[in-house]
Amino acid sequence: MWIRSLGAVLALALVVATPLAAWAFVFQNGETVTAATGLSDDLYAAGQTVTVTGRIDGDVAAAGRVVTITGTVTGGVLAAAQDVRIAGPVGRTVRAAGQSVAIESTVLIDALAVGQEINIRQQAHIGRDLLASGQTVYVAANVDRFARLIGDTVVVAGRVGKGLRVDARHLTIMPTAQIDGDVRYSAELPVDVRAGAVIKGKIERVARPMRREARLLGLTFPIVFRIWEALALLVIGLVIVTVIPHPAREISTMALRRFPHSLLVGVAVLLAFFVVCAVLTTTVIGIPLAVSIALLFAAGVYPSQAFVAAALGKMLLVPIGRGKDLSTSLRLTVAVGTVILVLLFALPFGWFMRLLAMISGWGAVCLTLWRSIGGWTGITMRMRPSP
């Protein structure tokens, strides 16, 4: 009963507090989502495969396993998937994250790409700055201003208008590259500048400073932090599944089976949260309220990682059970999933995995609340005066 009441309050608060302009969008979801016709609005899409081929006069936010955008987008693009490919012109900025991210078109302002393999291809053109981080980063496009590249292997084969800054194990500047400013890099190996490359500024290798590791009881601080975080998440998860076992099971199932939808809803709620706080901070009276909402939001978002941990634990334990249903052992799934999460957090891009877990977990919470109250139909029925 408490989950239905809380869901109604949350939905009503979002409807009342969010400006009308923030609700001007089209939402599409399903196994395969295809936007082939023109749309004069923002597009939010979630599915296993999301394909946008039509013209979108607005922003695009897409999440799934494969996201492909070949149509023109006059606004910005926010994409998260295993494979992201942006091959249509973008009128503003691109923010993309995935295992493989490829940008093959014109981006009028800035582009940010995070993943394992980043490809900014030759036909692409970045109007201002480029920030790319991955295990392998390949840039063959024209970047009008600055390029900031982070990775294990970084290859630059295009033109950078002002300056290049690289943190990598190995940096290669190809014969087709042209850097109109300075090259500053921090790498284990000296830069490999191929014959024919044009660098109009100076090349400066920045040494990586030696940092003393803080220790506690003989352990380095990062290890102590990981252990503390693992214990904290485990305690939070066990408390949640003990106090509310049935809702916890529903939310973890939502996070597992409808991950793209949970991620997209989490992003949408996060954006709405920022909009509400920005509006409230415009007045003196609203500032304390904005701070209170921010604290409550943080108190809800961080523990939601426990539901993602339960989903990960179930993914691992069900195959081990050889067809047996192990979903009743919520405490075991939370414990195993917490270990997996902490290991993922320890990766080089652990901050991204943590952000993904919090957003998708909170999205699963919101989706479960939304379904428990019956969506818009349930809200409308509750708002009707009783006879």
The string of pLDDT tens digits covering residues 319-359 is 544 444 444 577 788 888 888 887 887 776 777 888 888 88
Provide the pLDDT for residue 209.
Answer: 52
**How far apart are alpha carbons 34 and 200 in whole angstroms?**
45
User: What's the half-sphere exposure (Cβ side, CA atoms, 13 Å) at 48?
Assistant: 3
Provide the pLDDT for residue 243.
Answer: 83
Q: Are 160 and 173 in contact (CB under 8 A)?
A: no
Provide the pLDDT for residue 18.
Answer: 37
User: What's the half-sphere exposure (Cβ side, CA atoms, 13 Å) at 368?
Assistant: 24
CB atoms within 10 A of CB 274: 12
Among residues 114, 115, 104, 148, the alpha carbon closest in space to that of 129 is found at 148
Interval 16-31: pLDDT, tens: 333 333 334 455 555 6
Q: Are 131 and 115 in contact (CB under 8 A)?
A: no
Among residues 122, 164, 166, 128, the alpha carbon closest in space to that of 144 is found at 128
**How far apart are alpha carbons 124 and 103 in whole angstroms?**
6
Q: Where are the domains of the chain?
A: 110-207, 226-379
* Structure-token pair, residue 28: 């599409």
Provide the pLDDT for residue 3.
Answer: 39
Query: Helix/strand/coil (H, E, C) string of the chain?
Result: CHHHHHHHHHHHHHHHHCCHHHHCEEEEEEEEEEECCCECCEEEEEEEEEEECCCECCCEEEEEEEEEECCCECCCEEEEEEEEEECCCECCCEEEEEEEEEECCEECCCEEEEEEEEEECCCCEECCCEEEEEEEEEECCEECCEEEEEEEEEEECCEECCEEEEEEEEEEECCCCEECCCEEEEECCCCEECCCCEECCCEEECCCCCCCCCEECCEEHHHHHHHHHHHHHHHHHHHHHHHCHHHHHHHHHHHHHCHHHHHHHHHHHHHHHHHHHHHHCCCCCHHHHHHHHHHHHHHHHCCCHHHHHHHHHHHHHHHHCCCCCCCCCHHHHHHHHHHHHHHHHCCCCHHHHHHHHHHHHHHHHHHHHHHHCCHHHHHHHHHCCCC
Q: Are 173 and 166 in contact (CB under 8 A)?
A: no
**How far apart are alpha carbons 189 and 203 in whole angstroms?**
14
Pairing of strands 215-216, 219-220: antiparallel
Provide the pLDDT for residue 380.
Answer: 61
- CB within 8 A of 55, min separation 6: which ones? 38, 39, 71, 72, 73, 74
Q: What angle do the packed helices 2-17 and 350-372 form, to 10 degrees? A: 110
| pTM (whole model) above 0.75 | no
CA distances from 319 to 156, 322, 327, 328, 378 (A): 43, 5, 12, 15, 37
Spans of the chain below 50 pLDDT: 1-25, 211, 213-221, 320-327
**How far apart are alpha carbons 165 and 334 in whole angstroms?**
41
